[in-house]
A and B are shown apart, each in its own frame.
Chain A
Amino acid sequence: MIMKKISTLILILFIGVLTAQNVEFEKKNFPGRKDELKEALANIKQGNEIFEQGENFYRDALPLYLKAQDFNPNNAWLNFRIGICYLNSFDKKKAFDYIQKAFLLNPQVDPKIRYYTGRVYHLNSEWDKAISEYKMYQSQLKSSQKEEMKDVTKKIDECNNGKVLSQTPIRVWVDNLGPEVNSPYHEYSPVITADESVLMFTSRRPGGVGNKMDEIKNEYFEDIWVSYKSGKRYTQAVDLGPPVNTENHDAAVCLSPDGSKLITYQGASNGGDLFISYLVGKQWSKPENLGKAINTKYHESSASFSYDGKILYFVSDRDGGLGGHDIYYSEINEKGKFEKAVNLGPTINTEYDDEAVYMMPDGKTMYFCSKGHNTIGGYDVFKTTLENGQWTKPENIGIPINTPDDDAFFALAGNGRHAYYSSAALKGYGGMDLYKITILGPEKQPLLNTQDQLIAMAAKPVNNLKTEQAVEPTKPKMTLLKGIVYDAKTNAPLEAILNLIDNEKNIILASFKSNSATGKYLVTLPSGKNYGIAVQREGYLFHSENFILPADADYQEITKDIPLKKIEIGNAIVLKNIFFDFDKATLRPESYNELDRLLKLLTENPSIKVELSAHTDSKGSDEYNMKLSQNRAQSVVTYLISKGIPADRMIAKGYGETQPIDTNDTEEGRQNNRRVEFKIISIK
């Protein structure tokens, strides 16, 4: 008991000593330094004037406060004020020393000193210390301080989330994208093509279109910048320029997987609206407003298309949500118009801000950031997947990607191994920076040359290779198909329409365009479908491809350049999406889309006469193959006649196995040899 009293006394004395060290800006404390004191007080006064303009200006007050601090480093109030300024600056971690010193100099310097001490511990991921400080602050609150109570309770929850998630950090490398991309100003909202070749992002650096300051935010207006992959790095970023960027806020929101469509945010429009721009050749078109179903007088800030471009997921703080910004979706109808927006509901949206939606090209994985759910502080990145039409409970993607500060705008590359995002907490070039995440997957266990002699009569022991548990690849199950469409004769790149067809349902899933200047295209195909791809351009024969991707087909990238042949005598195409029953000439329903395309071509070009030929592989007798191929060619012709094409415009010809285009020694080769061809034999 006596010991306890002595300890308390010592503690009081200790605190008293520390309190006594608080040095006020008074003459008596600085004898003979009258002018310096006067200057320090003037700096504080000037700093206060700036400080009072609001938190966006705190960092401008900092240099003045720091000058006064040089003169008198032991004033509790000034230390506290500098700490607050740093907490609102690009360099939050510097707040730590000042807040802590302020507390040591005078624990009563401010009613919220415990709260801010908690904040700096929190930002430093010192979870237990932060919780302790927050709880001290919490205990001092009055019952009427409901807002403060709610805030500090949430902060405690965040720290507890941090404690849990820090037990199981995920294995990733987080690399700053370097000075070619980042600057001393904010960079955020990276958007990438599926193959990572193009990176666009939002920056608040000087040098944008207009190069003007946002006087409310006390920062440069946002502009969209672009950088291209070169080897393992990105090139020096350049402003995307007009017409995409304007003199006001322009932010990168979503880039289609093939890099041909860009959704942007324009701050000057109606409280902040979403726009869309198209890459025509090498030029981006003037952004068009996405319309009233998407944009309201409220703040619409981010968006992402589904892989087939038929649903737009977007963020708005419109009335009727669950609080703050929420994620909505809108389906695009057959006329190409957006349907009424639907809130994604309480599984995804919280009473806090839910932002930065990003839909994976696999069609079922969504990333977004939120200040709710089990965030560990500020915005954290979450993942959810669509299973049986329902979104799963969002999962915090973990430490070290998520930090106690804002982490947002997560965009995963098509290969699933790399992701890009912006973070405020990590040490970068200033403000928020862009980072590349390399996902390493589960820890790799080493192998040893262990051996056992399982069979006694074997004089040599048997290697007991300890196999590692299968690594669940992080790669999404999809195929990324890319290449160039070009004129088969001149090799000139061509703009063409690529229709993606679900052969089983016989419907067009999506339409894309190759770039008019480069002919480049990129299509993502989620696994689990029989896809037909038809490439069309006026004046040319269409080109078709077929991809049967089983549900368990892993991520792959296929480069396929597509030559288009003009409608000229002698030109022929292989119809890769015409299917027959096994060993029969009966057309399968999956063929109708291709047949109808052929029908359209013949209808639109009434002067052409064609040969429709069928070919087999070398299995079976020559006679049998000849007969089968003749019947198959005739089936196609009969179908077209039934649709109104005059019989005298078509010749059905079976070639059996006489004209192979590939080897008959492999299944792939045989598959290529089994085909139907279409050849122009005359033009009237």
Chain B
Amino acid sequence: MIRFAKNVFMRNFMAFIFLFCSIFLSAQNDTVKIAANLTPEQMAQNDYNTGLNYLNNNNAIMAVQMFSQALTNLPNFDKAYYNRSLAYIKLNNYNDALKDINQCITLKPSDGAYFTKSLIFLYQNKKDSQEVALNKALSINPGNAEANYYFGMIHFNTQDYDKAIQYYQKAIQSKPDYAYAYNDLASCYMMKNNIDEAIKNYKEAINYNPNHPFLFNNLGSAYRQKKEYGKAIEAYTKATLLDENYFIAYINMGATKIEKGDFASAKSDFEAVIKKDAQNSAAYNGLSAVYIKQKDYQQAKSMASKAIMLDANNGQAYYNRAIARQLLREEDEACSDWKRALELGISPAKNFISSDCGN
């Protein structure tokens, strides 16, 4: 039912990294003091603090400069290497980031440093090295929640959901309010088609973080899977209330209503998205699906065409337009659309190319 795209968008973990760094650093900042007559060590500490300030204010270039200055004065300053590594990550300079984190580890190995190293490997798409670094982090601190969480992700991506569950559960054990871990754990259960357990864990995630619309969206999808359409719609609605521009929830809600047979209301959901975002291809595709169900194939074709015009890579829209075209007796055109949908990764189109196209 649910297909997980393997490419998790790695570069967007920055927020998490800096959140993690802040925690790591805040425990140490109180030891850094400024005196009138500055020793090289004190100067290094001053530069370090300034660099940290730049880093927290998203000025990675200046942060690198200040951490480098600090290291000139204090070459074995492990925290400066650590934070300069983070700044390099922010600048997508993974090679220098790796050098710095290795230096930090040489000076003072820690689970946090190894975890950061694992993230660099993640960004470099070096999965084996990532796992080695995560294992190192866990060998220092088996309860490192983030390391366990990321191990969970690795196994999720390889569709080894049982192992992923074990790691997510360890992460939760170390950090009982870890909402993201609950979400991912729930998603593992979704993939295993254990919907009740998924719902339970999505609800836990919401309990610890009730402000993330995607958690409600996922809960809605779990209910939809169970065909508990009322509860699904309720969850999607909450997602839209948290963020009125969270179009994904509107689209999912419309899809749920189509499954429920409430076509008019589904239409309203898609139209609501279009009202806010006239360029939303998915919403037009949703309308095409409604019209197909209502057997208005001319309108279905028109809406799918609009969706394709807005997003030429919307494979689902090609697929739907093919359905409409076939029933409008435009069989050759329908087959062309199914072929295009297949090129765009919509594998169900293959069945129809095989069964409905040809002489």
Residues of A within 8 A of B (CB): 173, 195-196, 415, 417, 440-441, 444, 446-468, 470-471, 473-475, 554
Contacts and interface: CB of A to CB of B under 8 A. Distances in A.
Contacts of A471: 351-352, 355
Contacts, number: 145
Contacts of A470: 351
A417 B9 CA distance: 44
Contacts of A452: 2, 187, 214, 217-218, 221, 252
22 contacts: A440-B356, A447-B289, A447-B316, A447-B319, A447-B320, A448-B286, A449-B316, A450-B221, A456-B183, A457-B16, A457-B149, A458-B8, A458-B9, A459-B13, A460-B12, A462-B2, A462-B3, A464-B1, A466-B255, A467-B1, A471-B355, A473-B355
Contact of A458 (B12, B348, B359): B12
Contacts of B5: 462-463
Interface residues of B, number: 60
B167 interface: no
Residue from B13, B348, B358 whose CB has the most chain A CB atoms within 10 Å? B348
B358 A454 contact: no
A450 B255 contact: yes
Interface of B: 1-5, 8-9, 12-13, 16, 149, 153, 156, 179-181, 183-184, 187, 190-191, 205, 212, 214-215, 217-218, 221, 248, 251-252, 254-255, 258, 281-282, 285-286, 288-289, 292-293, 300, 314, 316, 319-320, 323, 326, 329, 346-348, 351-352, 354-356, 358-359
Given A417-B356, A449-B314, A460-B12, A444 B248 contact: no
A446 B16 contact: no
Contacts of A459: 9, 12-13
Nearest to B183: A456
B354 A455 contact: no
Nearest to A447: B316
A474 B352 CA distance: 11
A450 B251 contact: yes
Residue from B5, B9, B181, B300 whose CB has the most chain A CB atoms within 10 Å? B5
Nearest to B185: A456
Nearest 3 CB-CB pairs, A to B? A459-B12, A456-B180, A449-B282
Contacts of B215: 456
B258 A448 contact: yes
Contacts of B248: 450-451, 453, 461
Contact of A456 (B184, B190, B356): B184
Contact of B187 (A195, A415, A441, A455): A455
A461 B316 contact: no
A557 B98 CA distance: 58
Contacts of A441: 355-356
B184 A448 contact: no
Contact of A453 (B191, B218, B320, B351): B218
A194 to B, nearest CB: 12
A446 B184 contact: no
Contacts of B282: 448-449
B347 A467 contact: yes
B255 A448 contact: yes
Contacts of A450: 221, 248, 251-252, 255
A464 B221 contact: yes
B359 A448 contact: no
A363 to B, nearest CB: 21
A460 B1 CA distance: 19
Given A455-B156, A459-B12, A461-B214, A467 B251 contact: no
A173 B16 CA distance: 57
A456 B217 CA distance: 12
A228 to B, nearest CB: 14
A463 B345 CA distance: 12
Given A455-B187, A467-B3, A447 B286 contact: no
B347 A462 contact: no
Contacts of B156: 454-455
Contacts of A173: 329
A616 B5 CA distance: 43
A450 B258 CA distance: 12
B9 A464 contact: no
Given A465-B346, A473-B355, A448 B12 contact: no
B352 A444 contact: yes
Residue from B149, B248, B258, B319 whose CB has the most chain A CB atoms within 10 Å? B248
B187 A451 contact: no
A195 B359 CA distance: 9
Contact of A464 (B3, B205, B281): B3
Nearest to B253: A450
B208 to A, nearest CB: 11
Contacts of B190: 454
Contacts of B1: 464, 466-467
A417 B212 CA distance: 50
B2 A449 contact: no
Given A196-B359, A465-B346, A467-B348, A449 B218 contact: no
Given A449-B282, A451-B252, 15 more contacts: A195-B359, A196-B359, A415-B359, A441-B355, A446-B258, A450-B255, A451-B248, A452-B221, A452-B252, A454-B2, A455-B183, A456-B183, A457-B149, A465-B3, A473-B354
Residue from B282, B292, B316 whose CB has the most chain A CB atoms within 10 Å? B316
A312 B45 CA distance: 99
A343 to B, nearest CB: 36
Contacts of B346: 447, 465
A444 B285 contact: no
B285 A455 contact: no
A382 to B, nearest CB: 23
B358 A457 contact: no
B27 to A, nearest CB: 23
A193 to B, nearest CB: 12
Contacts of B251: 448-451
Contacts of A462: 2-5
Contacts of B292: 446
B182 to A, nearest CB: 9
Contacts of A457: 8, 13, 16, 149, 153, 180, 184
A454 B319 contact: no
A526 to B, nearest CB: 18
A410 B13 CA distance: 63
Contacts of A468: 348, 351
Contacts of A474: 355
A196 B359 CA distance: 9
A348 B16 CA distance: 71
B9 A454 contact: no
Given A455-B184, A456-B180, A466-B1, A448 B285 contact: yes
A447 B348 contact: yes
Nearest to B14: A459
Contacts of A444: 323, 326, 352
B359 A475 contact: no
A534 to B, nearest CB: 29
A475 B153 contact: no
Contacts of B293: 446
A448 B251 CA distance: 8
Contact of B355 (A417, A449, A460): A417
Contacts of A473: 351, 354-355
B347 A449 contact: no
Contacts of B4: 454-455, 462
